[in-house]
């Protein structure tokens, strides 16, 4: 089977590519390497280096997709705070990029489009766990852009007859996670700081809680979403562990000194109701964060 992974040099995308190739599939990666890394590339994959938000690349993208069963859309400029600082840059990349790839996939007669959405669409909901039928209330340009991608997936399923499904990820961690730069999340930031003998910096009191989800489980959800007969009409599905940990707990798992900074604009707590993923995809998370962090610390020499 042929698959196209847009953003296949990134953290989640490269892990997905590896699993697809392990399963004896043909894979084409599309990436512009602004956040993806060439060191993440699987040598058995074909690579098309270009910017998907540039619509002049339409013909090249369509050509690369012909004969593909599924397009996985993982390319995006991620994280809330940088999107607040650079909303126009994020809008062009995340909104136009997604729309361009949707149109290319439709015109290339791809069967299914699996979109990487984000739990940031929920905003700061006081009602937990978060369910897919809750109103979207994003707190940032990034959250709004990712939610708009879901909307367009539903539109394309209805108007252009391409099967679509959107997976709302909750705080993904695991192998190849970014540990430095603007796109690192809290665990990656803490790891980088400890490797460089710096204190871990905690925004606010550190009691904000997140549903941390292992990248291998996210990869599994993508593959199941590409094959399940229960989806294809623009469904939105939470991909979260179904439990959460505070930032302070993550710091304690990693170990070392920490300092508190001023709070930032962010939800106080996220927690996924993942029952729909179990129902429609037959998906369940498999990894406990405490077990993975313990193993990871040994691998990188922090233990």
Let me know if 58 is a catalytic residue. Answer: no
Please say whether the beta carbons of 199 and 254 come within 8 A: no
Phi, psi for residue 220 in degrees, rounded to 5:
-60, -40
DSSP character string of the chain:
-EEEEETTTSHHHHHHHHHHHHTT-EEEEEE--SSS-GGG--TTSEEEE--TT-GGGHHHHHHHHTT-SEEEE------HHHHHH-HHHHHIIIIIHHHHHHHHHHHTT-SEEEEEEEGGGG-S-SSSSB-TTSPP--SSHHHHHHHHHHHHHHHHHHHS--EEEEEEE-SEESTT---SSTT--HHHHHHHHHHTT-PEEEETTS--EE--EEHHHHHHHHHHHHH-TT-BEEEEEEE--S--EEHHHHHHHH-S-EEEE---S--SB--B--HHHHHHH-------HHHHHHHHHHHHT--
Phi, psi for residue 229 in degrees, rounded to 5:
-85, 0
Going by C-alpha positions, the residue among 52, 33, 170 that lies closest to residue 104 is: 52
Going by C-alpha positions, the residue among 26, 103, 123, 5 that lies closest to residue 59 is: 103
The b-or-e profile of 36-54 (16+ CB within 10 A means b, else e) is: beeebbbeebebbeebbbe
Catalytic residue (one of 142, 148, 169, 173): 142
Catalytically annotated residues? 142
């Amino acid at each position: 089977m042929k698959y196209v992974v847009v953003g296949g040099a990134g953290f989640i995308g490269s892990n997905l590519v590896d699993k697809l190739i392990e399963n004896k599939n043909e894979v084409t990666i599309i990436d512009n390497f602004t956040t993806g890394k060439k060191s993440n590339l699987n040598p058995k994959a074909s690579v098309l280096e270009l910017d998907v938000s540039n619509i002049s690349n339409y013909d090249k993208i369509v050509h690369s997709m012909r004969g593909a069963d599924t397009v996985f859309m993982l390319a995006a400029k991620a994280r809330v705070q940088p999107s607040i600082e650079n909303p126009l840059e994020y809008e062009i990349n995340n909104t136009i990029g997604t729309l361009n790839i949707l149109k290319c996939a439709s015109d290339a007669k791809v069967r299914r489009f699996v979109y990487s959405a984000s739990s940031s669409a929920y905003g700061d909901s006081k009602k937990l766990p978060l369910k897919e039928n809750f109103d979207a209330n994003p707190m940032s340009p990034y959250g709004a852009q990712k939610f708009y991608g879901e909307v367009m997936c539903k539109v394309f399923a209805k108007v252009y007859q391409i099967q679509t499904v959107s997976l709302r990820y909750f705080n993904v961690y695991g192998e190849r996670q970014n540990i430095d730069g603007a796109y690192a999340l809290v665990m990656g930031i803490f790891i980088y700081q400890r490797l460089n003998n710096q204190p871990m910096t905690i925004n606010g009191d550190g009691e904000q809680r997140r549903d941390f989800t292992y990248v291998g489980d996210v990869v599994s959800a993508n593959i199941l979403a590409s094959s399940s007969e229960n989806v294809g009409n623009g469904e939105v599905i939470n991909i979260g562990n179904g439990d959460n940990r505070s930032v302070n707990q993550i710091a304690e798992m990693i170990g070392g000194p920490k300092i508190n900074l001023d709070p930032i604009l962010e939800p106080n707590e996220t927690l996924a109701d993942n029952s729909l993923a179990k129902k429609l995809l037959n998906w369940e998370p498999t990894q406990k964060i405490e077990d993975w962090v313990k193993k990871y610390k040994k691998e990188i020499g922090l233990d």
